[in-house]
C-alpha cells in the first residue's frame, strides 16, 4: 500500500498534476467570485458608500487599527517559532519581526505569497547566515501555524454556529457541523500523532522535524490569536445592525480569507469581497462595503507602505555600512589592488 502511494505521488510530481489542478482551482474560484461580485454590486450607490465611510466613528477606526496592529504583532511569532524550531537561535527577535511583518504584508498585497513572502524572508535572513533551504523550512512551519490556527477557528466556530458557514457554501447546517467535527477530529489526530514521537517530513537537507505535541498546541494558540484579532478588526467595522454576533462574523471572515488565499489573487481581491457580501447578506451592502474598504486600508495598504519604507531604509543602511567597511579596509591596506599594480607594471615596462 505504501509503495503504491509513493508511486502515485511520484507520478503526480512528474506530470505536475497537483500544480495544474491548483491553477484550475484558482481560476475557477476567481471566475465564480467575479460573477457573484458583479451581481452583488449591481445597483450599489457609490455616494452612499462614501458617506458610510465618512460617517464611521473615529474611535471605531482607531479600535480596528489597534486590532490590526495586534494581529501583525502576533504574526511575528510565526517566524520566531519557525526559526527556533529549525535551530537558528542566534537570530534575534527583531529580525524575526521584520521578516514576518514585511513578508506577510507584501505577500498579501502582491499575491502568490509563498514566493513573494519567501523572497522577502530570504533577503532578511540571509544576512544572518540562513540559506534558501532554511528559508523554505521557515515558510513551511509558518504556513503550518497559519493552517492549524485556521482549522481550529473554523472547526470550533462552525461547530458552534453552522448556519454562518451555510450562508457561503449553501450546505445544510448539519452538514457543516459534521464537517467542522471532522476538522476538529483531524486536528486532534494530528496533535496526537506528533505527540507520540518525533515526526520528520521531507528528505535529505529538505527534511523538517515537526514540532511535538506541546509546541503544536502553541502553534494552534498563535494561529487562533492572530485570526481572532483580524476578525475583531472586521467586526468593529461592519454595520451594527443587524447584530449577528462576533462568532458569525468571525466564521464568515475566516472562510472568506481562506477563499481569497486559495485564489492567489492579490489580497484575495474580488474573492474575499464576494464571500463577505454573500455571507453577510443581511447587512446593508453600502455600509458593509464601506467597512470592507476601511479594513483593506488598515490591514493591506497601510502595512504594505510601512513595509516598503522599512525595507528601503534597511537597504540604504546596509549599503552605507558596506561602503564604510570597504573604505576602512582600504585605509588599513593602502597597497593598490592587483589589477592596478599589473597595469602600472605594464606601463613601466613599455616606457
Q: In which element (H, E) is residue 209 found?
A: strand 208-209
Q: Residue 268: is its pLDDT beyond 80?
A: no
pLDDT beyond 50 at 303: yes
Predicted confidence (pLDDT) at residue 344 exceeds the cutoff of 60: no
User: What pLDDT was estimated at residue 228?
Assistant: 92
| Structural element, H or E, at residue 317 | helix 302-332
Who wins on pLDDT, 205 or 114?
A: 205
**Better-predicted residue by pLDDT, 69 or 4:** 69
pLDDT (0 to 100) of residue 165? 83
| CB distance 249 to 67 below 8 Å | no
Model confidence at 351, pLDDT cuts 50, 70, 90, reads very low
pLDDT for the residue numbered 264: 65
Confidence of residue 271 (pLDDT cuts 50, 70, 90): confident
Q: What pLDDT is recorded for position 9? A: 47
**What's the whole-number mean pLDDT along residues 148-173?**
86
Residue 72 is predicted with a pLDDT of 93
How does residue 190 score in pLDDT terms, banded at 50, 70 and 90? very high
Contact 298, 306 (CB under 8 A): no
pLDDT above 90 covers a percentage of the chain that reads 28
Write out pLDDT tens, residues 54-96.
888 899 999 999 999 999 999 999 999 999 998 888 899 999 9
In terms of C-beta distances under 8 Å and separation of at least 24 residues, what long-range contacts does 228-232 make, across chains too?
A: 228/153, 229/67, 229/68, 229/70, 229/71, 229/74, 230/67, 230/68, 230/71, 230/257, 230/299, 232/67
Q: For residues 274 and 351, which has the higher predicted lDDT (pLDDT)?
A: 274
- Residue 12: band (very low, low, confident or very high) from pLDDT cuts 50, 70, 90: very low
Residue 18 has what pLDDT? Answer: 47
pLDDT of 184 strictly over 90: yes
pLDDT at 226: 92
pLDDT digits (tens, 9 = 90+) for 229-239: 999 999 999 98
- Judged against a pLDDT cut of 60, whether residue 205 lies above it is answered with yes
Q: Does residue 218 have a pLDDT over 80?
A: yes
Among 2-11, 151-160, 184-193, 291-300, the minimum mean pLDDT is found in 2-11
Of 16-25, 143-152, 161-170, which range is least confident?
A: 16-25
Burial letters 170-201, b for 16+ CB under 10 A, else e: eeeeeebbebbeebbeebeebbeebeeeeeee
What CA–CA distance (Å, rounded) separates 299 from 307?
12
As given in the structure block, the three cell numbers for residue 153 are 477557528
User: Using one digit for the tens of pLDDT, what is the confidence trace for 123-146?
Assistant: 889 888 899 899 999 999 998 998
Amino acid at each position: 500500500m505504501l509503495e503504491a502511494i509513493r508511486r502515485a505521488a511520484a507520478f503526480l510530481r512528474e506530470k505536475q498534476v497537483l500544480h495544474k489542478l491548483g491553477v484550475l482551482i484558482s481560476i475557477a474560484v476567481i471566475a465564480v467570485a467575479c460573477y457573484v461580485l458583479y451581481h452583488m454590486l449591481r445597483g450599489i450607490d457609490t455616494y452612499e458608500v462614501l458617506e458610510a465611510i465618512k460617517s464611521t466613528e473615529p474611535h471605531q477606526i482607531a479600535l480596528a487599527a489597534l486590532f490590526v496592529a495586534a494581529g501583525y504583532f502576533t504574526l511575528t511569532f510565526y517566524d520566531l517559532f519557525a526559526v527556533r524550531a529549525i535551530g537558528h537561535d542566534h537570530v534575534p527577535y527583531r529580525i524575526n519581526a521584520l521578516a514576518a511583518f514585511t513578508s506577510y504584508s507584501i505577500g498579501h498585497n502582491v499575491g502568490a505569497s509563498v514566493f513573494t513572502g519567501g523572497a522577502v524572508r530570504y533577503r532578511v535572513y540571509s544576512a544572518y547566515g540562513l540559506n534558501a533551504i532554511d528559508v523554505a523550512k521557515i515558510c513551511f512551519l509558518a504556513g503550518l501555524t497559519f493552517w492549524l490556527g485556521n482549522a481550529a477557528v473554523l472547526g470550533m466556530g462552525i461547530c458552534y454556529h453552522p448556519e454562518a458557514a451555510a450562508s457561503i457554501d449553501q450546505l445544510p447546517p448539519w452538514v457543516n457541523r459534521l464537517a467542522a467535527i471532522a476538522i476538529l477530529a483531524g486536528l486532534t489526530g494530528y496533535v496526537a500523532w506528533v505527540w507520540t514521537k518525533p515526526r520528520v517530513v521531507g528528505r535529505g537537507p529538505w527534511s523538517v522535524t515537526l514540532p511535538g505535541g506541546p509546541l503544536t498546541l502553541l502553534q494552534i494558540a498563535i494561529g487562533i490569536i492572530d485570526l481572532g484579532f483580524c476578525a475583531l478588526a472586521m467586526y468593529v467595522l461592519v454595520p451594527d445592525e443587524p447584530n449577528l454576533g462576533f462568532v458569525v462574523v468571525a466564521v464568515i471572515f475566516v472562510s472568506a480569507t481562506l477563499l481569497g488565499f486559495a485564489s492567489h489573487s492579490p489580497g484575495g481581491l474580488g474573492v474575499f469581497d464576494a464571500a463577505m457580501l454573500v455571507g453577510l447578506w443581511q447587512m446593508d451592502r453600502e455600509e458593509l462595503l464601506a467597512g470592507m474598504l476601511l479594513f483593506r486600508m488598515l490591514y493591506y495598504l497601510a502595512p504594505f507602505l510601512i513595509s516598503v519604507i522599512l525595507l528601503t531604509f534597511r537597504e540604504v543602511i546596509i549599503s552605507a555600512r558596506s561602503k564604510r567597511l570597504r573604505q576602512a579596509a582600504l585605509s588599513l591596506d593602502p597597497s593598490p589592488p592587483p589589477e592596478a599594480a599589473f597595469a602600472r607594471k605594464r606601463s613601466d615596462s613599455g616606457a
